[in-house]
Amino acid sequence: MSSTAVSTPSGLRVPGWLAPAGVAVLFAAAYLVFRGTGTLPHDSEAPQFAAVTELREWIDDHRNDNPVFLYFLNYVRLFVGGVYGLFHGALTALGWPGLIGVMGALAWLAGGWRIALPAVAGFCSFGVLGLWESSVETLALVAAAVLLSLAIGVPLGIWAGLSRRAHRAVTPVLDVMQIMPTFAYLAPLALFFHIGAPAGTIATMIYAIPPAIRITALAVQQVSPTAVEASASLGATRAQTLVKVHLPLARSTMALAVNQTIMMALSMVVIANLINAPGLGSDIILGLSRAQVGIMLPAGVAIVVMAMVLDRMTVSVARRGPHSRIGRAGLAGAGALAAAGVTLGLVLPHEWPEALTVDLVAEINDAVLWAETSWYGVTTFIKDTTSYLLLNPLESLFTTAPWWLVAAAVLLAAWRVSGVRPALTALGCLLAIALLGTWEHAMRTMTTVAVAVSVTLVIGLLLGVAAARSARWSAVQRPVLDAAQTMPAFVYLLPALALFGTTRFTAIFASIVYAVPPVVRLVEEGIRNVPGTVVEAAASAGSTPGQLLWKVQLPMARRAILLAANQGIVMTLAMVVVGGLVGAGALGYDVVLGFSQRTDFGMGFIAGVATVLLGVMLDRITQGADRRPSPHQRKVT
Amino acid sequence: MKIRLLAGLLALGLATACGGATVESAPSATPAEGSASASAPTGTVKIAINPWVGYEASANVVAYLLKNELGYTVELPEIKEQLAWEGFETGDVDVIIENWGHPDLKKQFIEEKKTAVEAGSTGNKGVIGWYIPKWMADEHPDITDWKNLNKYADLFKTSESGGKGQLLFGDPSYVSNEAALIKNLKLNFKIVTGGSEAALIKGAQQAQAQKKPLLFYFWDPHWLFSKTELVRVKLPEWTEGCDADPKKVACDYPEMDLDKIVSTRFAQSGGKAYELVKNFSWTNEDQNAVADDMTNGGMTGEEAAKKWVEANPAKWQAWIPQ
């Protein structure tokens, strides 16, 4: 940034970097003077934690005699469990040929044989991988969760799309729900709905409902007002307008809502297993607790395949025109496929034939062992260097700084980037974290997030700029990014775990891989959206490509880059918290521990709340992207 | 849709009579239907799988016998120790085949809530302790006394232990006094969670083979003791009641008589399956043999169980109810 100082005519004006630099020096001095004072060390026996643990014990004792449970919560549990049981029963009753046939038929109806073929192959792969039963359980859980999510989300979405007031009321709630790390839901759910499939379904629903509401609302809003007016002027009632105009016109966008809901539900599969939800998640957790990637990888592949099949099916429904019909040939093909499957299901044994499974556990474990031993030097070097040079010093900086100094830094940073109100919200969140007794662990988690986000941004900027400048590079990169974004988050943990074992670095590595694609995309778009006239003007004024990038394109894409940072932070936090499963420690581990040891339930619960607060805080610090004008605009006005 | 939801709730409400819904009435909670009266019992037995291989060995042998001798269907859901106790209530679990103490859970679930009952000893004796590879004890003979651990804390430093010595721990759900011990014995050590039994085994094997320092949490019975030389660090001796308050523990782990816990429902209606579980009892050597086959012999749990069953007919035939 020193280049700005050089380029401004020196003399009377104070250079722009002086104030921030001065503040930084001030903070550094304050840190050196007050280091070690005003810290809030972690105490796993804090009264806050004990209080929640006691509340849990109380609830456990009164689950079957307190009226709130007896007449409300237990019924919800019962109902959701019933829906899951229904799906599971039906899917199991079809048998494997029946289910494959029916899914193939649905795929055919959705998008013709081009979709049906991969769907059939994909479902066969579950059996081949030896995961048929777990896959059916996961499918049933996802189906139950998606159905219930849509049953709640679509009406709310339509309401929010039609009424501005409803929209305003719903938006902030959805905002918080979406930046909440999924881990945080689990403890309260276990408290109210116990463990098992119903609790897992409800956890998945909470995660999957926001996109359902949001996209439905968007779909309804996008319906052209002329069509609505025309219908109203023809004397249609509001209900008729809704059913005959809004919904048909919004259909393709709403298929997208279904698509997103399914994707969200699938990405919860593993986490929901922590409260004992059945399915493929339990194979992943099994592999995790045996440290065998060979067990985890097939389950991970099965989840990715399920995601891809369901994704392609729903996307092809979304792409079809609003009034297209399915041809007779398609109907016949689909019908034949379903009938053949169901008949075979009646004839063939219920279990997937063992002769058709391929057991790869030992092979994968061997490959991982080979990678571990032969790359040991490199991976350990990377891990240790990052830990000793970056992670440990930063962690000790955050944990030994007085709390008020950190609070002041957060307040100032948020103020500068995003304005007064977000800054106060961020400060409030930070103080709440302190009051909850999770300060030290929150600081540790923040360190991990900070390191991961910085690396993500560096990589994201490099790749984004490269893609924006070279169409060919962009074309190569795009399909990779597309694929990466449809994968459930935890899938990235597996290779990280295989390479780095259970350490903080594993979580960092996984979250970088997870967060880089959207960051690259936002940066690329931001730079591409810089008006061509500006670029040309700069070029004709004799700027070198480097100058063009640093002086014109990057500053003008500031908004997009900030948005990328914001996205990166929210995604990294979610991943780092899940990383508690693989050695990330701090808040994420507290949550895991809360499920593992009854005496630590309170700590886990509160750690979950603290991750939400941390998420809101980091979001508020960086959300200035949407609100504040870029420096370029500021100078003009 | 909302109306449907309400209707569904109402229907279920009527179905479960007007007394409100308890957790047990959940449809997912199907108890083992080993009908005691019928001559050919059929039903499903759910044995929770806790994450260590010794436990899996016991569970697989019992599962094998339930399947092949008594004709039951057996499910082996992966559930960690403490959650499994809650599973008794929801019907997700019928049997915990190897329980390590847990007096607090026994009080809560057996005495107070009455959702679980004891089903006798497994015959295995279990001890938890802190271990080091043998080469360390050879080089520093006094290291095996906890009083000298602080002197050697520097040896055990790693990138994850924040300037203190590292005490490697296993799965977060394991029985653990480590935090209290470190605090109360004023040890300059930090618990680093490896996350699994496998992480502990790998650490121990590397430590002995490559002469790397390591202090770690481990337990007996375990096949590892016959493959890698390990030495236990002596903590202050266990006396009756010294570990009564989990926060004030400053003594070693006791030798525990490992036992079986089953859900009250299973004890009442489990029929022959329950009898078999109750009769099951073997030695540490038996368990280690099966566990070793599972971990190092490349066998699945079922294969290893089959091998043991075929080699030891006299032992298991005594467990089969008449």
Same domain, B69 and B121: yes
Residues of B whose CB is below 8 A from A78: 12, 16, 21, 25-27
Highest mean pLDDT among A33-47, A600-614, B236-250, B270-284: B270-284
Give pLDDT, residue A630: 41
DSSP string, B247-277: GG--SPPPPEEEEEEEEHHHHHH-HHHHHHH
Of A24-33, A332-341, A439-448, B281-290, the one with minimum mean pLDDT is A332-341
The answer, yes or no, to whether residue A154 has pLDDT greater than 50, is yes
- Residue of A191, A321, A169, A322 lying closest to A245 (CA atoms): A322
Stretch B167-193: mean pLDDT: 92
The type of residue at A506 is T
Rounded CA-CA distance A79/A72 in Å is 11
* Of A334 and B16, more confident: A334
Q: Is A601 exposed, middle or buried (0-12, 13-18, 19+ CB in 10 A)?
A: buried
CB-nearest partner of B78 from A71, A282, A503: A282
- Tokens 């006798």 sit on residue: B120
A268-286: per-residue pLDDT in tens? 888 888 888 889 988 888 8
Contact criterion met (CB < 8 Å) for B159 and A384: yes
Determine whether the interchain pair A583/B193 forms a contact, defined as Cβ–Cβ distance below 8 Å.
Answer: yes
The answer to the question of residue B11 being in a domain is no
Whether B106 and B173 share a structural domain: no
Are A196 and B28 a contacting pair at CB < 8 A? yes
pLDDT bracket for residue B19 (50, 70, 90): low
β-pairing, B165-169 vs B189-193, is: parallel
ipTM of the complex: 0.81
| Torsion angle, alpha carbons of B152, B153, B157, B163, to 10 | -140
Chain B contacts of A291, Cβ < 8 Å? Answer: 195-199, 202
Residue A21 has pLDDT above 60, yes or no: yes
What's the gap in Å between the CA of A410 and the closest CA on chain B? 25
Q: Three-state SS string across A472-504, please?
A: HHHHHHHHHHHHHHHCCHHHHHHHHHHHHCCCH
What pLDDT does residue B1 have? Answer: 45
User: Which pLDDT score is estimated for A534?
Assistant: 85
pLDDT at A288 (0 to 100)? 78
Q: Which of B256, B275, B290 is the last residue of a domain?
A: B256
pLDDT of residue B63: 96
Residue A225 burial (CB < 10 Å; 0-12/13-18/19+)?
A: exposed
A540-543 contacts, C-beta under 8 A, 24 or more apart = none
Question: Least CB-CB distance to B23: which of A194, A291, A383?
Answer: A194
Between chains, do A79 and B113 touch, taking CB under 8 Å as contact?
Answer: no
Any domain includes B46: yes
Which residue of B44, B49, B50, B78 to mutate against A (max A Cβ within 10 Å)?
B78
Average pLDDT over residues A200-206: 91
User: Are residues B162 and B82 part of one domain?
Assistant: no
Q: What structural domains and CATH numbers belong to chain A?
A: 133-178+185-321 (1.10.3720.10), 389-637 (1.10.3720.10)
Structure letter (DSSP) for residue A195: S
- Å between B21 CA and nearest CA of chain A: 5
Which residues from B are below 8 Å from A64, CB to CB? Answer: 22-24
C-alpha count within 13 angstroms, C-beta hemisphere, residue A568: 30
Query: For position B207, which CATH number holds?
Result: 3.40.190.100
pLDDT at B32: 38
Q: Which of B115, B159, B216, B302 to mutate to test the interface with A (most CBs of A within 10 A)?
A: B159
A594 with A605: CB under 8 angstroms? yes
User: Is residue A425 a contact partner of residue A620, using CB atoms and an 8 Å limit?
Assistant: yes
Indicate if B243 and B286 belong to the same structural domain. no
Q: Are A488 and A267 a contacting pair, CB within 8 Å?
A: yes
Q: What confidence score (pLDDT) does residue A442 get?
A: 94
**Residues B116, B168 within the same domain:** no
Q: Which of A564, A624, A572, A614 is nearest to A176 (CA)?
A: A614
Judge if B33 and B80 occupy the same domain.
yes
Report helix angle A403-418 to A420-435, nearest 10: 160
Whether residues A388 and B159 touch (CB distance < 8 A) is answered with yes
Considering the domain architecture, whether residues B251 and B289 belong to the same structural domain is answered as no
Structural domains counted in chain B: 2
Nearest-CA distance A131 → chain B (Å): 14
Query: In sequence order, which ranges of A361-503 are alpha helices (DSSP H)?
Result: 361-374, 376-385, 392-400, 403-418, 420-435, 439-469, 471-486, 493-500
Q: What is the pLDDT of residue B54?
A: 94
Tell me which chain A residues have a C-beta less than 8 angstroms from the C-beta of B198: 290-292
Nearest CA in chain B to A274: B79
**DSSP code for A38:** S
Tell me what pLDDT residue A322 has. Answer: 55
CATH of the domain at B100: 3.40.190.10
The reported pLDDT for the residue numbered A358 is: 82
Contacts of A82 in chain B (CB under 8 A): 8, 12, 27
Q: A202's torsion region: left (phi>0), alpha (psi -120 to 50) or beta?
A: alpha
How far apart are the C-alpha atoms of B274 and B265, rounded to whole Å? Answer: 10
- Highest-pLDDT range among A417-431, A600-614, B276-290: B276-290
Joined tokens for residue A561:
């880059």
**Which range has the worst mean pLDDT, A122-131, A582-591, B86-95?**
A582-591
Q: So what's the pLDDT on residue A13? A: 63
Residue finishing a domain among B225, B256, B287: B256
Cα–Cα distance measured from residue B139 to residue B134, given in angstroms and rounded to the nearest whole number: 9
Of B304, B315, B301, B311, which is closest to residue B76 (Cα–Cα)? B301
pLDDT tens per residue across span A610-636: 988 998 898 888 876 555 444 443 333
With beta carbons less than 8 A apart as the criterion, state whether A92 and B41 touch: no
How many C-beta atoms surround the C-beta of residue A262 within 10 A?
24
Mean of the pLDDT values across residues B230-234? 94
Residue with tokens 């990235």: A492
Residues from chain A that touch B176, judged by Cβ atoms under 8 A, are: 597
**DSSP of A535-565, one letter per residue?**
HHHHHHTT--HHHIIIIIIHHHTHHHHHHHH
| Mean pLDDT comparison of A323-332, A349-358, A569-578, highest-scoring range | A569-578
User: What is the C-alpha to C-alpha distance for residues A179 and A186, in angstroms, rounded to an integer?
Assistant: 15
Mutate to test the interface with A, among B4, B28, B174 (most CBs of A within 10 A): B28
Residue B93 or A578, more confident: B93
Q: ω before B103 within 30° of 0 (cis)?
A: no
- pLDDT tens-place string over residues A245-270: 888 878 777 888 888 889 888 888 88
Same domain flag for B139 and B239: yes
For residues B154 and B218, membership in a common domain is answered with: yes
List the structure tokens of B207. 């430590």
* For residue B38, pLDDT beyond 70: no
Q: Which of A474, A456, A452, A450 is nearest to A527 (CA)?
A: A474
Q: d(Cα A416, Cα A622) in Å, to the nearest integer?
A: 10
Tell me, rounded to whole angstroms, the distance of Cα A388 from its chain centroid.
29
Q: Work out the average pLDDT over B91-100.
A: 93
pLDDT of A570 strictly over 50:
yes
Q: Is the pLDDT of residue B22 over 60?
A: yes
pLDDT digits (tens, 9 = 90+) for A518-566: 899 888 888 888 888 888 888 888 888 888 888 888 888 888 888 888 8
Domain presence at residue B226: yes
Interatomic CA distance for residues A441 and A439, integer angstroms: 6
pLDDT tens-digit series, residues A62-103 = 877 888 887 888 889 999 999 999 999 999 988 899 999 999
Would you say B286 and B308 are in contact if contact means Cβ atoms under 8 Å apart?
Answer: yes
Return the sign of the alpha-carbon dihedral for residues B313, B121, A276, B247. negative
B265 shares its domain with B121: yes
Helices (H), A274-360: 280-290, 293-319, 328-347
Average pLDDT over residues B54-80: 93
Structure tokens that stand for A354 in this block: 């063992």
Q: Is the confidence at residue A439, as pLDDT, over 90? A: yes
Tell me what percent of the residues of chain B surpass a pLDDT of 70: 87
Mean pLDDT computed over A437-456? 92
Strand B73-75 and strand B95-99: the pairing is unpaired
User: Among the residues of B72-229, which ranges form H helices?
Assistant: 81-90, 103-105, 134-139, 178-184, 197-209
Using a pLDDT cut of 90, give the percent of chain A over it.
22
Higher pLDDT, A325 or A383: A383
Could you tell me what percent of chain A has a pLDDT over 70? 94
Domain span at B192: 126-256
Same domain, B197 and B251: yes
Q: Which secondary structure element, helix H or strand E, spans residue A145, and what is its range?
A: helix A132-162
* pLDDT of amino acid A12: 55
Distance set, CA B293 to CA A250, B8, B297 (Å): 60, 50, 4
Per CB-CB distance under 8 Å, the chain B contacts of A448 are: none
Q: Tell me how many helices (H) and strands (E) chain B has.
A: 12, 9
| Residue B4 in domain | no
Residue B91 within any structural domain of the chain = yes
The partner residue sitting opposite B92, judged by closest CB among A75, A276, A592, is A276
Tokens of A206: 């909470």
Would the pLDDT of A569 be above 70? yes
pLDDT of residue A14: 66
- Nearest alpha-carbon partner for A61 in B89, B174, B98, B102: B89
Does residue B10 lie within any of the structural domains? Answer: no
* Same domain, residue pair B140 and B245: yes
User: pTM, whole model, 2 decimals?
Assistant: 0.82
- B82/A155 Cβ within 8 A: no
Name the average pLDDT for chain B.
86
| Chain A residues near residue B81 by CB distance under 8 angstroms | 596
Residues B258 and B21: their CA atoms lie apart, in Å, by: 35
In A, which residues are within 8 Å of B112 by CB distance? 61
